[in-house]
């Protein structure tokens, strides 16, 4: 029995650590984009390295959590859903890493006049992810509160959509001095940042169903 | 010859194990909280303990219903009930062993021209209604308490599930103990009057004649659990209603409570002391209680969760079981008596205790006592070896898993 208690405790700690990784990844992403826009490439590199480390840690934790749940037959009825949730959350940090790497490799040339728009898109997209983490934690401790916490995720996701739509409109309709290749490149980068909030929404949909099921 | 007659009781015990163990651990195994192997081992051990330590209460009541006063009759009655239970189990229908044996005894009464003790029959049949109702009531109350506890404690889901799992093991063990205590009467009750064995000293405990029979019956039940209960566990666990892990715990706990109060003489006298009518010491159908509990929770959560078609099938089984078992007993008695020329019992003319009277045709041969003592000691030794082997096999499996996990991470690095 003591062995089993230790397994339970370890698993709880691992899940918490996994959420911490995602949370921290979102924070570092925000700082990374800001330093890129400020042209502070040293800080940007430091943030990329941090995100890579967090992503690799999250991957390790994800495998370990899924393994432990199966081998010790923990949460037999909710295991599939919890694994899917962790998968979707892992996609968020994967997107963060790949987006920052695209900034590093493709070095998109963002006009200074769009800095504010890019920061807004990043802020709202990151906020959607950040609001998701407390809801995911609440699933395990107080599932009654999950749905109310998810409202903010949906709000920030739609905000991200609005700001990015507006930014795309400005790029394609008002900035005539930019050539089409550059415009397309900027759109591509925006889509990537937007993907974080899309993933957050996907996770929120899943969490919302999981919360109902567990309360039934 | 007399031991050969006992085989039908052991067959009935095997059927009961195959069928009724599903009631105790069905919800736990069905909800994947406990593996079948672990459930089977726990149930087997505690069924035997319950049968030996507390099995006598309910068997007295069964003796009153119809004192089968010839070993040939006991054989046929147990065989008819066993066949009925086996066939129903084969079709994955959770059937009540209690109903089967009661039906068979009534069949014997009719065949031999004995009058069925209506008072006892009513007492038993009334528990076929009060058992599931009590089960449903307990289940709903316990479910509400558990839900409230879960809501207000903000306990982590994984920790909660680990507590539920531990609870399922403990309550399952308690349920198995109660099943052994209460339902052993169905298996061995009809043989108790026909055997008069010497006391068997096992070192830590001395077993009386009836306790030896109960132990043997308990071992037969355990064999049924280990070999054939897997399928019915799936039915109880999943088909009536999909059970959550906490509901599974509540269902097993409610069932264990109901079985316990109908087999505990201490509880019955406690109720009597408070001025309330005492609970009859009756072999209750664990199947009915568990289904009552599941339906109770289903109704509490909203009736749409329940698969009423399956419930209807089970209800049909409840009516069919005593009738089929009674008819089987009646016709089997006819064959055994007229074709094999074996005495299956006679009409009892005078009044008095049927149990005492029936011991007139009992056996007290020394040889049989010795065979029984060897048999019991041998079976107990085999049982202990199985449990030890299981423990080491589990340990080996866990070690191998751990090693393969470590190897995986090492290679990944």
Interface pTM, i.e. ipTM = 0.81
Residues of B in contact with A61 (CB under 8 A): none
pLDDT of residue A214: 81
B158 and A12 within 8 Å at the Cβ level: the answer is yes
pLDDT of residue B75: 81
pLDDT above 90 coverage of chain B, percent = 0
Domain of residue A63: give its range.
2-215
Chains A, B: CB contacts under 8 A, how many? 48
Poorest-confidence range of A2-6, B355-359, B364-368, B396-400?
A: B355-359
pLDDT of residue B186: 75
Segment B182-207 shows an average pLDDT of: 75
pLDDT in tens, A100-144: 999 999 888 888 888 899 999 999 999 999 999 999 999 998 888
Strand partners, B201: B206
- Give the angle B382-B384-B388 at the CA atoms, nearest 5°: 115
User: From the candidates B27, B147, B156, which should be mutated to test the interface with A, based on the most A CB atoms within 10 A?
Assistant: B156
Residues of A in contact with B301 (CB under 8 A): 216
Residue B356 confidence class, pLDDT cut points 50, 70, 90? very low
- Whole-angstrom distance, CA of residue B181 vs CA of residue B265: 11
pLDDT at B2 over 70: no
pLDDT of residue B355: 38
pLDDT of residue B52: 84
B401 and A71 within 8 Å at the Cβ level: the answer is yes
Interface of B with A (CB under 8 A): 31-33, 35, 151, 154-159, 161-162, 165-166, 244-245, 301, 401, 405
The domain total for chain A is 1
In sequence order, the 6+-apart residues with CB closer than 8 A to the CB of B67 are B193, B348, B354, B355, B357, B358
pLDDT of residue A199: 93
Poorest-confidence range of A6-10, A136-140, B250-254?
A: A6-10
* Residue B91, min C-alpha distance to chain A (Å): 27
Residue B264 confidence class, pLDDT cut points 50, 70, 90? low
In the block, which residue shows the tokens 């415009």? Answer: A183
* Residue B62, min C-alpha distance to chain A (Å): 40
Q: How many angstroms separate the Cα of A43 from the Cα of each of A33, A55, B74?
A: 10, 18, 89
pLDDT of residue A44: 92
Residues of B in contact with A8 (CB under 8 A): 158-159, 162
pLDDT in tens, A180-210: 999 999 999 999 999 999 999 999 999 999 9
User: From the candidates B37, B143, B157, which should be mutated to test the interface with A, based on the most A CB atoms within 10 A?
Assistant: B157
CA-closest candidate to residue A160, choices A195, A121, A189: A121
pLDDT in tens, A16-61: 999 999 999 999 999 999 999 988 899 999 999 999 999 999 998 9
Contact call for residues B157 and A75 (beta carbons, < 8 A): yes
pLDDT in tens, B285-313: 777 788 888 888 888 877 666 677 777 77
* Residue B245, min C-alpha distance to chain A (Å): 8
Q: How many angstroms separate the Cα of A114 from the Cα of each of A31, A33, A120, A188?
A: 17, 13, 10, 15
pLDDT of residue B347: 65
pLDDT of residue B92: 66
Residue B360 confidence class, pLDDT cut points 50, 70, 90? very low
pLDDT above 70 coverage of chain B, percent = 81
Residues of A in contact with B163 (CB under 8 A): none
User: From the candidates A57, A139, A140, A213, which should be mutated to test the interface with B, based on the most B CB atoms within 10 A?
Assistant: A140
Residue B165 confidence class, pLDDT cut points 50, 70, 90? confident
Residue B343 confidence class, pLDDT cut points 50, 70, 90? confident
Residues of B in contact with A1 (CB under 8 A): 166
pLDDT at B354 over 50: no
Residues of A in contact with B154 (CB under 8 A): 141-142
- What are φ and ψ of residue B206, in 5° steps? -105, 125
Query: Which of A54 and A77 is assigned the larger pLDDT?
Result: A54
Among candidates B156, B158, B405 on the partner chain, residue whose Cβ is nearest the Cβ of A67: B405
A78 and B157 within 8 Å at the Cβ level: the answer is yes
Query: Which of A215 and B330 is assigned the larger pLDDT?
Result: B330
Residues of B in contact with A70 (CB under 8 A): none
Q: Which chain A residue is nearest to residue B147, measuring alpha carbons?
A: A215
pLDDT of residue B350: 45
Poorest-confidence range of A158-162, A212-216, B143-147, B372-376?
A: B372-376
In sequence order, the 6+-apart residues with CB closer than 8 A to the CB of A190 are A118, A121, A164, A167, A168
Residue B382 confidence class, pLDDT cut points 50, 70, 90? confident
Q: What is the DSSP letter of B364?
A: -
Poorest-confidence range of B5-14, B70-79, B113-122, B192-201?
A: B192-201
Label each residue of chain A as H, E or C: CHHHHHHHHHHHHHHHHHHHHHHHHHHHHHHHHHHHHCCCHHHHHHHHHHHHHHHHHHHHHHHHHHHHHHHCCCCCCCHHHHHHHHHHHHHHHHHHHHHHHHHHHHCCCCCHHHHHHHHHHHHHHHHHHHHHHHHHHHHHHCHHHHHHHHHHHHHHHHHHHHHHHHHHHHHHHHCCCCCHHHHHHHHHHHHHHHHHHHHHHHHHHHHHHHHHHHHC
pLDDT of residue A202: 93
User: From the candidates A10, A75, A82, A136, which should be mutated to test the interface with B, based on the most B CB atoms within 10 A?
Assistant: A75
Among candidates B156, B162, B401 on the partner chain, residue whose Cβ is nearest the Cβ of A4: B162
Query: Which of B168 and B344 is assigned the larger pLDDT?
Result: B168
Poorest-confidence range of A163-177, B151-165, B345-359?
A: B345-359
pLDDT in tens, B308-335: 777 777 777 777 888 888 888 888 888 8
Query: Which of B1 and B3 is assigned the larger pLDDT?
Result: B3
Give the CATH number, domain containing residue A118.
Answer: 1.20.58.220
pLDDT in tens, B131-157: 888 888 999 999 999 888 887 877 888
**Averaged pLDDT of chain B:** 77
Residues of A in contact with B29 (CB under 8 A): none
């Amino acid at each position: 029995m003591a062995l089993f208690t230790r397994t339970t405790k370890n698993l709880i700690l691992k899940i918490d650590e996994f959420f911490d990784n995602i949370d921290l990844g979102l924070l570092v992403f925000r700082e990374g984009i800001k330093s890129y826009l400020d042209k502070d490439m040293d800080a940007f590199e430091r943030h990329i390295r941090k995100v890579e480390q967090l992503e690799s840690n999250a991957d390790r934790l994800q495998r370990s959590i899924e393994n432990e749940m199966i081998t010790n037959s923990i949460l037999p009825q909710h295991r599939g859903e919890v694994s899917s949730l962790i998968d979707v959350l892992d996609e968020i940090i994967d997107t963060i890493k790949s987006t920052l790497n695209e900034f590093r490799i493709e070095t998109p040339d963002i006009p200074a006049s769009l800095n504010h728009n890019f920061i807004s898109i990043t802020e709202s997209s990151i906020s959607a992810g950040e609001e998701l983490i407390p809801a995911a934690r609440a699933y395990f401790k107080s599932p009654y509160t999950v749905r109310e916490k998810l409202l903010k995720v949906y709000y920030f996701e739609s905000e991200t959509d609005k700001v990015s739509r507006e930014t795309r409109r400005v790029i394609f309709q008002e900035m005539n001095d930019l050539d089409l290749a550059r415009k397309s490149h900027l759109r591509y980068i925006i889509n990537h940042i937007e993907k974080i909030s899309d993933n957050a929404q996907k996770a929120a949909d899943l969490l919302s169903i999981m919360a109902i099921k567990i309360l039934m | 010859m007399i031991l050969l007659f006992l085989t039908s009781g052991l067959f009935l015990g095997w059927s009961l194990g195959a069928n009724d163990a599903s009631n105790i651990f069905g919800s736990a195994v069905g909800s994947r909280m406990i593996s079948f192997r672990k459930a089977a081992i726990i149930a087997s051990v505690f069924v035997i303990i319950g049968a030996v330590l507390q099995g006598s209460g309910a068997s007295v009541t069964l003796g009153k219903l119809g004192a089968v006063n010839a070993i040939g009759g006991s054989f046929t009655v147990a065989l008819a009930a066993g066949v009925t239970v086996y066939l129903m189990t084969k079709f994955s229908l959770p059937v009540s062993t209690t109903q089967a044996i009661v039906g068979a005894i009534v069949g014997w009464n009719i065949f031999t021209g004995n009058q069925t003790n209506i008072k006892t029959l009513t007492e038993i049949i009334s528990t076929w209604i009060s058992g599931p109702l009590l089960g449903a009531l307990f289940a709903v109350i316990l479910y509400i308490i558990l839900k409230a506890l879960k809501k207000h404690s903000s306990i982590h889901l994984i920790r909660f599930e680990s507590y539920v799992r531990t609870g399922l093991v403990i309550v399952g063990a308690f349920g198995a103990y109660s099943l052994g205590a209460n339902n052993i009467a169905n298996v061995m009750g009809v043989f108790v009057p026909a055997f008069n064995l010497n006391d068997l000293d096992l070192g830590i405990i001395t077993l009386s004649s009836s306790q030896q029979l109960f132990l043997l019956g308990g071992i037969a039940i355990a064999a049924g659990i280990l070999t054939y209960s897997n399928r019915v566990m799936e039915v109880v666990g999943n088909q009536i209603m999909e059970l959550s892990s906490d509901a599974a715990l509540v269902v097993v706990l409610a069932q264990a409570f109901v079985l316990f109060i109908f087999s505990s003489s201490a509880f019955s006298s406690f109720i009597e002391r408070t001025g309330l009518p005492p609970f009859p010491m009756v072999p209750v159908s664990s199947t009915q209680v568990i289904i009552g509990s599941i339906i109770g929770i289903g109704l509490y959560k909203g009736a749409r969760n329940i698969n009423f078609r399956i419930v209807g099938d089970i209800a049909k089984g409840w009516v069919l079981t005593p009738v089929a078992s009674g008819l089987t007993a009646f016709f089997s008695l006819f064959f055994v008596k007229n074709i094999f020329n074996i005495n299956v019992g006679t009409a009892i003319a005078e009044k008095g205790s049927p149990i005492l009277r029936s011991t007139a045709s009992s056996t007290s041969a020394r040889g049989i006592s010795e065979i029984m003592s060897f048999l019991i000691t041998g079976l107990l030794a085999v049982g202990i070896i199985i449990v030890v082997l299981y423990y080491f096999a589990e340990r080996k499996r866990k070690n191998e898993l751990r090693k393969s996990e470590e190897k995986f991470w090492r290679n990944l690095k």
